Amino acid sequence: MKRRPLPSAGSDAGLPASDPASPAPRPTPPVIRRRRAGATGDSSPAAPARLAPGLRARRVALEVLLRVDRERAFADVLLGHRLGEFAPADRRLVTQLVLGTIAWRGRLDFELARLSARKLEILSPDVLALLRLGLYQLRMLTRIPPHAAVDTAVTVAREGPGGAGAARFVNAILRAAIRAPIGLPSRSADELEFLTVAYSHPRWLVERFVEWFGVADAEALMAADNEAAPNVLRLNLARGPHDELAALIERDGMRIARRGCFPETIVLAGAPIFDSPTYRDGVFQPQAEASQLVARLLAPAAGSTVADCAAAPGGKSTHLAELVGVAGTVLALDLNLAGLRNARATAARLGHRNVLFARADCASALPLRPQSVGYVMLDAPCTGLGTLREHPEIRWRLQPDDFARMAALQSRMLENAAALVRPAGALVYAVCSLAPHEGPDVIRNFLARHRDFEIDPNPPESIGEILDRDGFMRTRPDRGGLDGFFAARLIRRFDIPATAR
């Protein structure tokens, strides 16, 4: 998945908080936070004046949740079109409500199924989404009073197609949730079921995580999946030195929490402002830290030519354009025409004129002379399993056979990308997935077929310390707070005769 991270703030029970000054996130505890039974406040709907600000945020959150389910859309894209309607505090609230409700859907449904006499599958989509939205606030957001969570859900339900009947049903379920919270499954009776509910991941995916990483690491990973992702920016150092650009960003109202792993990397304490002069002037580009590591792993020399074989939406292409400098060239290839247009717009905003864009299917032979490029990047399409913090809907859409299906596509693309690499040239293969099928298995199978390639025994000095004993870059949100990425830097050997390849 190559998507821009959403604005997010601190953490409240493992999700973005509405207070931008809240402390850093902590791992989500495996017990639902419960409020004191009976602390419900006034059971009658509140006056419209008191509810007006929160109602609008919840109406928009409901609309986005319904479209995510109905259209299989991505929440970050839909939110990107709506957040401009709100003040900064309400932007954080809407983002929090949408991403939190999606992330915790499994845990919320576990409780709703035990509170409702009706099966969840027969409820209308708007009623089920409202129940999830309301229960998420009751269980996970300590800053929202229970009566406000219930009353706003009831008011929005009354406005919907179910009218008064839907409102009464939503009111009854949510008030029952306040009176009698449902506990988690017994860990000793069924550990996998406990992990499934406690950390809100599909059971089949929990089983895979345990198989790949063991119980303790799987639990830490799933807790991290439910945390807020950091807001990371890549400074466009072609516009000026780090300190000057950072000062401009802070002048635009964004607060910098810390420097990142490279001179061009900073992490914000709050949300980026995309309608700011610094964004429009190309001072920064939102890009996750692990994604920036991938371009740094390729480490193209100044003035060199780079082929980016799956370039949309342009984050890595523009990073590579900065690394090679004005004397270098980046060939940005992608089959997705709309994605290429977005990448071209990003390059124009950042002022990079050394990026050439061409539509090409990297799953087929590429329209470039074989062994003609010194540096090749393949950030391949993948399941996005390493980006569940930004894209929680992925966990509910993935199917067990998706890993093998994507690995087959990735292997074809790797074959074609590798054909472009000249002798002694470098190739970086990367995916934002934690699945072994999409990462190390693809590389090992490729190397078994191509004796003229090998893992680079002398990786770039700036990146070498993050590589594991196999020479692979593997990041995880529970280990250093980076998205889950896999990357490998290969070089084409020039001492292998063609007949031995």
Residue numbers annotated as active site: 432
| Nearest partner of 492 among 374, 357, 382, 342, judged by Cα | 374
Of 125, 131, 132, 177, the residue nearest 154 (C-alpha): 131
Query: Which residues share a beta bridge with 475?
Result: 485
What one-letter code names the amino acid at 384? G
Residue identified by tokens 């063991």 is 214
In three-state secondary structure terms, 79 is helix
> Which two structure tokens, joined as six digits, stand for 297?
């792993």
Q: What is the 3-state secondary structure (H, E, C) of 434-457?
A: CCCCCCHHHHHHHHHHCCCEEECC
For 8, how many CA atoms within 13 A lie in the half-sphere containing its CB? 30
Q: Number of H helices and number of E strands within the chain?
A: 18, 12
E-strand stretches of 277-395: 284-286, 305-308, 329-334, 355-359, 373-379
Euclidean distance between CA atoms 476 and 217, whole angstroms = 10
Place of tokens 């900064």: 88
Backbone angles phi and psi of 70, in degrees to 5: -70, -40
> Phi and psi dihedrals of 36, rounded to 5?
-60, 125
The amino acid present at 354, given as its one-letter code, is N
Contact assessment for residue 493 and residue 441, using Cβ atoms and an 8 Å cutoff: no
DSSP string, 12-40: SSSSB-S-TTPPPP-PPPSS---PPTT--
Where does residue 196 rank: exposed (0-12), middle (13-18), buried (19+ CB within 10 A)? buried
Distance (Å) of CA 29 to CA 26, 55, 335: 9, 29, 43
Calpha distance 460→448 (Å, rounded) = 24
> What's at 461, amino acid-wise?
E
Q: Report phi then psi at 106, rounded to 5.
A: -65, -45
* Cα–Cα distances in angstroms (integers) from residue 62 to residues 19, 42, 46, 98, 140, in the given order: 22, 24, 20, 8, 17
